[in-house]
Amino acid sequence: MAGSDSETNNSPGENSKSNNDTNPISETEISIGNISRKVQDSLSIAKKHKFWETQPVGQYKDLGDSSLPEGPIEPASPLEEVKQEPYNLPSLYEWSTCDIGSEATCTEVYNLLTNNYVEDDENMFRFNYSKEFLRWSLHPPGYFKNWHIGVRVKATKKLVAFITGVPARIRVRDEIVNMAEINFLCVHKKLRSKRLAPVMIKEVTRRVHLENIWQAAYTAGVVLPTPIATCQYWHRSLNPKKLIDVGFSRLGARMTMSRTIKLYKLPELTITPGFRKMELRDVPAVTRLLREYLSQFVVAPDFNENEVEHLLLPTENVIDSFVVESPESHDITDFCSFYTLPSSILGNPNYSTLKAAYSYYNISTRTPLLQLMNDALIVAKQNDYDVFNALDVMHNESFLKDLKFGPGDGQLHYYLYNYRLRQALKPSELGLVLL
Euclidean distance between CA atoms 326 and 13, whole angstroms: 34
Q: Region 289-307: what's the mean pLDDT? A: 98
Q: Please report, for residues 61, 153, 275, 334, 374, the alpha-carbon distance to residue 326 in angstroms, rounded to integers and kept in the order given.
A: 52, 57, 9, 9, 18
The residue annotated as part of the active site, out of 185, 311, 416, 435, is 435
Give the pLDDT confidence score for residue 433 in this predicted structure. Answer: 98
280 burial level (CB within 10 Å; 0-12, 13-18, 19+): exposed
Q: How many CA atoms lie within 13 A of 110 on its CB side?
A: 18
The pLDDT tens digits for 17-31 are 222 333 333 333 334
Which residues, including other chains, have CB under 8 Å from residue 389's CB and lie 6 or more apart? Answer: 233, 234, 235, 236, 356, 357, 358, 359, 408
Residues of the chain above pLDDT 70, percent? 89
- Among residues 169, 102, 134, 182, which one has the least CA distance to residue 308? 169
CATH 3.20.20.140 is right for the domain spanning 48-223: no
Q: Report the top-level CATH class of 230-429.
A: alpha beta
Q: Region 62-74: what's the mean pLDDT? A: 88
| N residues, the chain | 435
Euclidean distance between CA atoms 103 and 107, whole angstroms: 6
The pLDDT tens digits for 95-148 are 999 999 999 999 999 999 999 998 887 889 999 999 999 999 999 999 999 999
Helix (H, G, I), strand (E, B) or coil at 303: coil
Give the pLDDT confidence score for residue 66 in this predicted structure. Answer: 81
Which residues, including other chains, have CB under 8 Å from residue 366's CB and lie 6 or more apart? Answer: 324, 326, 333, 334
The pLDDT tens digits for 318-362 are 999 999 999 999 999 999 999 999 999 999 999 999 999 999 999
- Among residues 198, 181, 208, which one has the least CA distance to residue 87? 198
Euclidean distance between CA atoms 248 and 355, whole angstroms: 12
Give the pLDDT confidence score for residue 48 in this predicted structure. Answer: 58
Euclidean distance between CA atoms 407 and 233, whole angstroms: 6
Give the pLDDT confidence score for residue 395 in this predicted structure. Answer: 98
Would the CATH topology of 48-223 be identical to that of 230-429? yes
Please indicate whether residue 118 or residue 90 has the higher confidence score (pLDDT): 90
Handedness of CA 405, 403, 312, 393 (dihedral sign): negative
- Across 394-404, b (16+ Cβ under 10 Å) vs e yields bbbbbbbeebe
- Across 19-28, b (16+ Cβ under 10 Å) vs e yields eeeeeeeeee
Are the C-beta atoms of 415 and 218 separated by less than 8 Å?
yes
The pLDDT tens digits for 169-212 are 999 999 999 999 999 999 999 999 899 999 999 999 999 999 99
Handedness of CA 54, 59, 65, 70 (dihedral sign): positive
Domain regions of the chain by residue span: 48-223, 230-429
Residues of the chain above pLDDT 90, percent? 82
Are the C-beta atoms of 312 and 361 separated by less than 8 Å?
yes
Q: Which residues pair with 276 in a beta bridge?
A: 323
Annotation marks residue 412 as catalytic: no
Give the pLDDT confidence score for residue 5 in this predicted structure. Answer: 29
Q: Which residues pair with 428 in a beta bridge?
A: none
Of 4-13, 272-281, 306-315, the least confident: 4-13
Enter the pTM of the model. Answer: 0.88
